[in-house]
Amino acid sequence: MQSLARKFEEWLNTVAADLRQKARRGDESNKPLLNQINYVPLHLFLSGKHDLKPTHAELKDWLHSGQVDVLRMSR
């Protein structure tokens, strides 16, 4: 069964550029971290833009599929 959830990059492209930049500033070359992603829905929530937030299923998919890291692991 295939998921109908958006991919992380698909969702991120729906977010205003200034908010994307604030969330990832200085770390753009790495895979996104969960705390960077949480920054965006928090600001969307505070500005009343609830329809732009990712769903629980999308967040879960991004984590389980490796599109987003929970922690930055040093190599």
Q: Tell me, what's the pLDDT at 15?
A: 94
What average pLDDT is seen over the chain? 89
Q: Is residue 75 part of a domain?
A: no
Tally of domains within the chain: 1
Q: Is residue 69 part of a domain?
A: no
Q: Tell me, what's the pLDDT at 73?
A: 73
Q: Is residue 36 part of a domain?
A: yes
Determine contact, residues 7/46, Cβ cutoff 8 Å: no
Q: Tell me, what's the pLDDT at 3?
A: 55
User: pLDDT digits over 36-53, tens only?
Assistant: 989 999 999 999 999 999
Q: Is residue 33 part of a domain?
A: yes
Domain of 25? 8-64
Q: Is residue 1 part of a domain?
A: no
DSSP character string of 18-57: HHHHHHHTT-TTSPPBHHHHHHHHHHHHHTT-GGGSPPHH
How is residue 60 annotated by DSSP? Answer: H
Q: Kindly report the pTM of this predicted structure.
A: 0.79
Q: Is residue 25 part of a domain?
A: yes
